[in-house]
Chain A
């Protein structure tokens, strides 16, 4: 019962009903109009023929008088056909003709009128035939009636009318049936969407709306809804992963911090050990704050909520400045920074964020190169180099940082960009494990991407950003100092 009411109240069915109603009214009007016009035309035609005949008969009367008229009427009445005649005298008695009496419809008529009459053997029976007749007073008290049988026409019109009615009824029934069928199929597909959404609301995020395969608008709607669900599921998973990782990566240092403070407190040495413990506690807290800041920044970048200060920047000046910042550190580690930058490029970017991303890449490159050199850096012997390059590739500007470190195995590259992942799993190495994921977040915010490649040997990290509009050429060349905002506001 509920299924039926749902079907009857469904939008497609109601639309079908409305359409059928409009169709029936229109069809009825058209059929009625055609019938009316056809009837009119045929009747007029008959009346015209009658009038021509009457003219002829009047001429006969004028030349031969009443006897001649009666003779002609008698003669014509004898011929088979649909013509009807009756000549009566002033007393209403029949003089000649094939009608037996004056039809009541014509008694007081002055012009052509439809009347009923009984013919021959059917005389007297009420099942009469239809005819059109014109009464004509003839001088001398006579009345002549000339008529034409239209029963066949009348029957034909009746049949046509019934046929029209029946077709409309049949069409309505078929239409409503088709409407029901269509409604049912549409309703079933929409019900599938409803069902899926209900299941998802109940907590099963992996459910998807089944596709029909026809590629119609319902399919496209389902596809889009599925894509949206996919994105939501992805975000939920990311969120869960983040909270798991936060729980793990923040709880570990927090525990360490707590136990360190506890140990210092328990230490019988007193003041000196307190001081030492507190110093370490503060260092630990600072690391925690750094991790937290990175996490917040990543979350904010991924939320896309950083609307500020996307300006045209010369990427060469960004990598020049970052390289300049890291050059002494690299040199101390026995590494050479080799910069090859294409000139005259521009990107629409937040200088601060892109600088931070490039700095993270360079930082990583130095860290891993030093490890490769067994950590015995600092003796001034150049043991390797880090290549920082800037190139224009198609519509993109690619900043690549390449090292000769251990590299990243192809199967680990995707994972290396995820939050908190430190591939060698050594939690002793400094850094929060957020460096690369911050780079990835910055790339996404700028409509770009980060990819890791094999540098044979080593790692080549490529930050690919969309090339921006023309640069208002005021930015400095690589290595040149720019007046920082901090300085200008202090003057």
Chain B
């Protein structure tokens, strides 16, 4: 995918550009808000990474301007301001996700991939399936190889989120934010225990593991051994 990084710190921008290229994505860099807005208007990008504090034009106003022009390119806002109201402001301005500095690159990558591959609002999927695991969003039923699996409501939502992003890395923070709606970092790694419990229900007794741990990044549900 094509990524536009709007970031004024040269070193950070270059690090992101290099890392994104290594991950197989094309990345351009804009050093200030005006340049970023001009590049984004061309509409060639799949996702924008916009820093909040930029010279010439701040990040939020860049996003606002783009949204006002009808551009729907997904935007990840980066910021050193991480309080609840800062995040709300960022999302209200038209950002799709909000990541606080300093961040781990794996986290950023997982988030922009989730943003790009999310389904458009009109194509509401009611059924997810990965391999022989199937989840029905309307009837709240989960089956593996045709056998029904009983899940707690939260486990259902956890699995739903993982399956929606099947084949993508989903980080612990993403799970906390989207499944629990918590934006703080619990001191203990509570998510790992929830995952292992879910794994016990959907993978236990099956030869093929579907729920994978991605070292140093998070989790991924996918069909396939590699």
The docked-state distance in angstroms from the alpha carbon of A359 to that of B181 is 13
Chain B hits for A286, CB < 8 A: 104
Asked if A329 contacts B190 (CB within 8 A), the reply is yes
Cα separation A430 to B102 with both chains bound (whole Å): 21
Is the beta-carbon distance between A352 and B178 smaller than 8 angstroms? no
Please report the C-alpha to C-alpha distance between residue A359 and residue B153 in the assembled complex, in whole angstroms.
20
B157 neighbours in A (Cβ, 8 Å): 481
Q: Is the interface of A mostly helix, strand, loop or mixed?
A: helix
Q: Is the Cβ of B121 less than 8 Å from the Cβ of A491? A: yes
Q: Are A359 and B184 in contact (CB under 8 A)?
A: yes
Chain A CB within 8 A of B15 CB: no
Q: Answer yes or no: A366 CB below 8 A from chain B CBs.
A: yes
- Residues in chain B near residue A449, CB distance under 8 A: none
CB–CB A435/B187 < 8 A = yes
- Does A456 count as interface, using CB distance less than 8 angstroms? no
Q: How many A-B residue pairs have CB under 8 A?
A: 85
What residue of chain B has the Cβ atom nearest to residue A355's Cβ? Answer: B182
> Which of B85, B153, B185 contacts A293, CB < 8 Å?
B185
Q: Closest CB of chain B to A420's CB: distance in Å?
A: 15
Q: What range describes how many residues of A lie at the interface?
A: 35 or more
Report the bound CA distance from A297 to B82 in whole Å: 9
Task: Encode contact with B along A350-361: 1 for CB under 8 Å, 0 otherwise.
Answer: 101101100110
* B residues near A359, Cβ cutoff 8 Å: 182, 184, 186
Please judge, given known A-B contacts A289-B102, A300-B83, A309-B85, whether A485 and B190 are in contact too, CB under 8 Å. Answer: no
Q: What CA separation (Å) do A490 and B178 show in the bound complex?
A: 9
- The answer for the CA separation of A411 and B142 in the assembled complex, in Å, is 54
The yes or no answer to A482 lying at the interface (CB within 8 A) is: yes
Measured between C-beta atoms, what is the minimum distance from B112 to chain A in Å? 14
- Residue of B with least CB distance to A432: B187
Q: Complex: how many Å from CA A171 to CA B84?
A: 71
Q: Which residues of A contact B188 (CB under 8 A)?
A: 326, 329, 363, 366-367
- Chain A residues near B187 (CB-CB < 8 A): 360, 363, 430-431, 435
Q: Report the bound CA distance from A430 to B188 in whole Å.
A: 9
Task: Decide: B186 and A484 in contact? CB cutoff 8 A.
Answer: no
Supposing A355-B182, A486-B178, A490-B118 touch, asked if A328 and B194 sit within 8 A by C-beta, the answer is: yes
Q: Is the CB of B181 within 8 A of A325?
A: no
CB within 8 Å for A329 and B183 given contacts A293-B82, A300-B83, A490-B178: no
Minimal Cβ-Cβ distance residue in A for B114: A490
B154 is an interface residue with CB less than 8 A from chain A: yes
Q: Name the interface residues of A457-491: CB closer than 8 Å to any CB of B.
A: 479-482, 484-487, 489-491
Residues of chain B whose beta carbon lies under 8 Å from any beta carbon of chain A? 82-85, 88, 91, 96, 100, 102, 104, 118, 121, 153-154, 157, 177-188, 190, 193-194, 196-197, 216
